[in-house]
């Protein structure tokens, strides 16, 4: 069934015409879904009972079931485990920063990218999310918290560029007038580096922040920890990211998970600084979140700080990501996995 929340007003008009309904209803429906953000078709009070029934028969109207909410004792981070209409689960994280509220959403159920340090990919890809399922993670978190969301990061479970069309629909619905109307500048999309889609994204005319999960400074090392590196070289990635920067003028972020004894040498800091310099990028260092099945550990604190100061000495802007909500399985994919294996519920 067609995901009704993924449709633009014009597409809704056509869809309504096809089922013999008046196209002017499209704007009303859109307003209920994306501006008032009701949780169900039943709540649309100026829509007749007959039309509601017809909509329920013809379209899928995604709603999520909250299975679990974990609240960090260390900060205001909240992690939600949501059940999708087909019974699959995804994680969504809510973070409060001084500069506003952020939500980190999932773009797929599982992931097929196979990064060695990541929990989300352990069970492979189950399926991609529809746009409505991505939107609902945000809408539902706003309903639960009663607060507005200022920033969105697509950094949860899944590879957003492995679900390109739905990702784009999600971004269009979220940013267009008449709906939540979030500025594209407040959205960050994180990718392991699917070159064709980085280029495609550059041409969409959206000033979105792109974060590249780099994690290694040579092709050899990257291949050891990220299978995607067999498909695209660092040179190809640099070229695509450079093009993204040229097209959008948006500063790129390079994510670098620091793994003890794997990618934390001074030489690697130097190489990373030169990549960042070439790409006008900001470096975000993430001390690796240990995943039980993976056996990777964080470098010592001093080594992390030394890595950062080396980068700075070489002229790169580098921050160390605050590890929010670690006590609540902050790293993506860990809660969903725990539920699947141990049945945390």
Residues that bind ligand SAH (CB under 6 A): 113, 115, 117-118, 155, 159, 190-192, 213, 255, 257, 286, 288-289, 291, 331-332
Tell the smallest beta-carbon distance from residue 291 to ligand SAH (Å): 5
Residue recorded with tokens 């980085």: 198
> In a 3-state reduction of DSSP, which class is residue 291?
coil
- 25, 273, 280 from 237: Cα distances, Å: 45, 16, 14
Rounded CA-CA distance 261/64 in Å is 41
DSSP letters of 11-27?
HHHHHHHHTT--TTHHH
Which CB sits closer to ligand SAH, 64 or 332? 332
Q: Residue 174 CB, nearest distance to ligand SAH (Å)? A: 18
Pick the closer one to ligand SAH by CB: 208 or 331: 331
- The least distance separating ligand SAH from the CB of residue 194, rounded to whole angstroms, comes to 9
Residue with tokens 């784009």: 168
| Nearest Cα residue to 150 out of 142, 140, 162 | 142
Nearest residue (CB) to ligand SAH, 9 versus 168: 168
In whole angstroms, how close is the CB of 210 to ligand SAH at the nearest point?
10
Residue whose tokens read 């019974």: 87
Rank residues 151 and 289 by Cβ distance to ligand SAH and give the closer one: 289
**Nearer Cβ to ligand SAH, position 234 or 288?**
288
Question: How many whole angstroms separate alpha carbon 61 and alpha carbon 137?
Answer: 13
CB 280 within 8 A of CB 251: yes
Nearest CA to 107 out of 186, 194, 166, 184 is that of: 166
Nearer to ligand SAH, 295 or 343 (CB): 295
CB of 15 vs ligand SAH, minimal distance in Å: 31
What is the rounded distance in angstroms from the CA atom of residue 91 to the CA atom of residue 160?
14
User: Which spans in 6-69 are helix H?
Assistant: 9-18, 25-30, 49-58
Q: Is 147 a residue of the active site?
A: no
Q: Which of 21, 91, 133, 268 is catalytic?
A: 91
Please report which helix (H) or strand (E) contains residue 166, including its range: helix 164-175
Contact 258, 298 (CB under 8 A): yes
CA distances from 246 to 114, 227, 239 (A): 30, 28, 11
- When the beta carbons of 70 and 289 are compared against ligand SAH, the nearer one is 289
Please count the other Cβ atoms lying within 10 Å of the Cβ belonging to residue 231: 11
Look at residues 97, 156, 152, 107 and name the one whose alpha carbon lies nearest to residue 329: 156
- Which among 43, 239, 332, 342 is annotated as catalytic? 332
Task: Report phi then psi at 210, rounded to 5.
Answer: -105, 130
> Which secondary structure element, helix H or strand E, spans residue 69, and what is its range?
strand 65-71
For residue 31, the minimal CB distance to ligand SAH (Å) is: 32
**Residue 196 CB, nearest approach to ligand SAH (Å):** 15
Is 332 assigned a catalytic role?
A: yes
Active site residues: 91, 332
């Amino acid at each position: 069934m067609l995901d009704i929340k993924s449709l633009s007003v014009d597409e809704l008009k056509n869809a309504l015409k096809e089922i013999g309904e008046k196209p002017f209803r499209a704007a009303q429906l859109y307003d209920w879904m994306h501006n008032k953000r009701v949780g169900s078709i039943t709540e649309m009070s100026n829509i007749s009972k007959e039309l509601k029934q017809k909509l329920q028969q013809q379209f899928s109207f995604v709603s999520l079931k909250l299975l679990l909410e974990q609240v960090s004792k260390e900060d205001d981070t909240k992690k939600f485990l949501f059940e999708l209409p087909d019974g699959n689960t995804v994680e969504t994280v809510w973070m409060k920063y001084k500069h506003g509220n952020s939500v980190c959403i999932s773009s797929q159920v599982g992931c097929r990218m196979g990064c060695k340090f990541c929990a989300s990919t352990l069970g492979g890809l189950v399926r991609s999310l529809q746009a409505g399922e991505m939107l609902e993670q945000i809408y539902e978190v706003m309903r639960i918290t009663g607060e507005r969301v200022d920033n969105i990061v697509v950094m949860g479970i899944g590879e957003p560029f492995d679900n390109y069309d739905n990702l784009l629909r999600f971004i269009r619905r979220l940013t267009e007038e008449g709906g939540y109307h979030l500025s594209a500048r407040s959205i960050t999309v994180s990718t392991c580096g699917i070159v064709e889609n980085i280029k495609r994204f550059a041409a969409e005319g959206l000033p979105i922040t792109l974060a590249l999960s780099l994690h290694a400074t040579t092709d050899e090392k990257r291949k050891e920890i990220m299978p995607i590196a067999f498909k695209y070289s660092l040179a190809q990635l640099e070229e695509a990211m450079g093009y993204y920067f040229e097209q959008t003028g948006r500063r790129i972020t390079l994510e670098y998970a620091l793994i003890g004894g794997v990618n934390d040498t001074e030489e690697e800091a130097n190489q990373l600084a030169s990549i960042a310099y070439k790409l006008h990028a900001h470096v975000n260092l993430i001390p690796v979140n240990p995943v039980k099945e993976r056996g990777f550990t964080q470098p010592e604190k001093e080594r992390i700080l030394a890595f950062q100061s080396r980068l700075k000495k070489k002229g790169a802007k580098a921050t160390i990501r605050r590890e929010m909500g670690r006590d609540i399985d902050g790293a993506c994919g860990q809660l969903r996995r725990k539920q699947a294996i141990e049945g945390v519920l």
